[in-house]
Structure 1
């Protein structure tokens, strides 16, 4: 009499009840549904933007333009905020006497989006609007071809021009997938 372990007994029992499907078991089947699924995670990413140094602000008509990498595989909104509402004098943003301490600017964004056909979305904001944040929607499209940012400096409001010194502004761009 042979002795089997518990594992061997289970394998023999399983083999006794398992049967292979034969052609006659499925001969009346004319169609078969198979569920197939998967997922791709949503992402939005922007490339780095270098600092824009305009140098001597006494020159008129100054502007800068840069191409920025942008890749969003879902519709999104972009919020652009300016910290000071213009290029502000680092110590006297309100100016002094007849000299202004603030230089306004405008910022324009142009980006191609796909719906799947490509369209271009363009928006422009002045520096005062950016204090509360400018919002751009992809209108249901996705972005894979980057965006172009343009900054054009305006005219100072002071009667004598700008106060001597250094000026700066911080612009924050946030991309949020929908």
Structure 2
């Protein structure tokens, strides 16, 4: 027991706070802290839009699409034919047209930090060469709405009988 008491006294006499040297004339310390967040743009699936009988004029369809982009972005849109086109005779035949133009509308809220809604409408013929728009420095967090409004047939006798198709491609690129 005596050895323990002597050892504790010895330790108490020679112990120092942390054996740290005092820093002379320094009153601040700087610590660098950093990290990164990767750019991300994500778009949900877009359902196919089947209009059925195209002879019924004024057809339209809307689709709500999940869309989130944590950086400003550019959206490019293209249409494969510039219209809903007849699968075998896109130029039509005789007085019947083989193409049905449409308008594609896009509407989405973007944050700058306050929310503004971007709205843009493209004519299908414009999409043949590709159309684009920018988020103007905003980010998207609340999805978007796509709308397609079919135009009236351009042929003097209406549309040629058959199936009509168009493929619209939307590509999002972070800025």
Same fold (TM over 0.5): yes
Gaps of 5+ in 1: 1-19
Q: Is 1:146 aligned to residue 143 of structure 2?
A: yes
Indicate which of 75, 78, 96 corresponds to 2:75. Answer: 78
- What TM-score results when the alignment is normalised by the length of structure 1? 0.86
TM-fit CA distance, 1:32: 1.6
Question: Please, which of 144, 153, 159 is the counterpart of residue 162 of structure 1?
Answer: 159
Q: 2:98 aligns with which of 89, 98, 101?
A: 101
**Which SS does the other structure have where 2:127 is aligned?**
helix
Residue equivalent to 1:35: 32
Scaled by the length of structure 2, the TM-score of the pair is 0.87
Deviation, structure 1 residue 89 = 0.3
The offset of 1:156, in angstroms, is 1.1
Q: Which residue of 1 aligns with 2:63?
A: 66
Deviations 1:61-118 (A, max 9, x none): 1000011011111110000000001000000000000000000000000011111111
Write out the 4+ residue segments of structure 1 that deviate beyond 6 Å after TM superposition: none
Offset from partner CA, 1:22-56 (integer Å, 9 cap, x none): 56613643222111000010011100001000000
Q: Which residue of 1 aligns with 2:169?
A: 172
Q: What corresponds to 2:84 in structure 1?
A: 87
d(CA) in 1 for partners of 2:24 and 2:51?
79
> Which blocks of at least 5 consecutive residues in structure 2 are unaligned?
1-16
Coordinate RMSD, CA, aligned: 1.6
Equivalences, count: 160
